[in-house]
Every structure is written in C-alpha cells, then in structure tokens.
Amino acid sequence: MKKRKRILIMGFLTLLIIFSLLVNTTEAKSNIYYGKVVATEGKMIQVKADNGKVAVFWLGHRTRFDSRVPFLGDRVRIEYVKDKLNRNAVTRVTLLGK
C-alpha cells in the first residue's frame, strides 16, 4: 500500500512539473519604440521618446543594424523584446531622418 501511494505521489508531482513548464512557455512579441539617442555606453543605449521619457535598451550579438550603429542625436526606430532578466533587448535598429 505504501509503495502504491508513493508511485501516485511521484506521478502527480511529475505531471504537475510538466504542466507548469508547458503553461509558462511564452512567445516573445516585439515592441517598437521611436526616439532620439541620448547616450550610449558599451552595449547599452538610452533613447528619449517624443513625450520626454528615457528608455534603456541593451544591444547584443543578435541585434540587427539596418545601416550603422546610432550616434548621439540620431532619430531611431527600435524593435525590442523583454529578455529573461526583464531588460529591453534590441532585435533591430533602424535610423530615421533627423
């Protein structure tokens, strides 16, 4: 009887773990941010939107640049996703006219 109870509990816990892993899988949706580059430091870029808010974005090895790396004062369109550390990870940077 104890062996049967132990098997049922282990089976229940296994199903619970599998179900929780399946529920937590999410698909990353990219967001778009327009603004002017305020600062760059290493792999980080700060962009100021038209409403005055400054957002920080992280550039990585998967970031695609349409022409070149943006400099201070460049107007940009940034496509980004939230990474595992809840940072704004840039997927694509497009330079717009000043």
Residue 44 lies in a domain: yes
Residue 77 lies in a domain: yes
User: Mind listing the pLDDT tens digit for each residue in 62-71?
Assistant: 888 888 888 8
Residue 63 lies in a domain: yes
Predicted pLDDT of residue 80: 92
Q: How far apart are CA 94 and CA 78, in angstroms?
A: 6
Residue 8 lies in a domain: no
Question: What is the tally of structural domains in the chain?
Answer: 1
Residue 28 has pLDDT above 80, yes or no: no
Residue 57 lies in a domain: yes
User: Mind listing the pLDDT tens digit for each residue in 50-64?
Assistant: 899 999 999 888 888
Residue 72 lies in a domain: yes
What is the domain extent for residue 36?
Answer: 31-96
Q: How far apart are CA 8 and CA 21, in angstroms?
A: 20
CATH number of the domain to which 49 belongs: 2.40.50.320
